[in-house]
Structure 1
Amino acid sequence: MEIRELMTKNPACCSPSDSVANAASLMAKNDCGQIPVTDSNGDLIGVITDRDIACRCVAEGKSADTRVEDIMSSSPITVRVDESVAECCKKMEDNQVRRLPVVDDAGKCCGIVSQADIARHASEHQTGDLVREVSEPTR
């Protein structure tokens, strides 16, 4: 099974110059914890997560007007639409992340795949391994 079969297609994205408040609003509206950050050409340049907002903005006393580029995670790990679920799980496990942006051959963000997507579509064994590896204490 390829990632294209289980990813969330056309995720809400924000720009690096958007405010953290805007990114948080997108998360609430789309019931998600990660928003891809794209440039004016639609190329993926980072992601902003609910954890980024909590730890890099709120915990540091920054305002909701802080720009996304000031707290986003740059150079995110990605998965291609044609990669297998096994390849995706390996990337999630190796990098201890619960979500990955999905990119097409041109580097454009075309989806998001989450640990929950894997759980709904993969085998119990594959799901269990993913949850265990991602949840290991930081190495």
Structure 2
Amino acid sequence: MSSVQHRSVTEFQANRASGAPRRWTYWVALFTAVNGLLLLSGQDLTFLAGLVAPFAFAGATSHFVAAALFAAIAYASLRYRPILLVALVLYLVDTAFAAYSTLWSGVIMHVVVLALVGIAVTAGRRLKAQLAAETGGNKV
């Protein structure tokens, strides 16, 4: 049995999917900061979705600086959405750095994260196009 979704459900899903890049940037900031805290406490655990490049520097300060940068980018994207491209480029550079450093588990996790964000962005665009088609081409 199939049923047509109510327009408000589709609008909610489209808005939720379009916010994925900002949420992803906050999550990268969080995982990077947690990696810094784990480094400070002498733990041997690392969250691979966080940035790899800060590990190239001694101490945890670079982790906190990188986390603050990603959090600031995510916050600024509320007003200026294209700034998320900076976070994307930085994450791609970090992926390349992980590959250069032969940290293959980090590369795999970065690729998975990027793929999931890409899927969410694509879904959001398709849902918005569907909504626009339903309203006769008016932007939603």
The two structures have a TM-score, normalised by structure 2, of 0.25
Structure number with greater CO (CA < 8 Å, separation at least 6) is: 2
Q: Name the one with the larger helix percent.
A: 2
Name the larger-Rg structure: 2
Q: Name the one with the larger strand percent.
A: 1
The two structures have a TM-score, normalised by structure 1, of 0.25
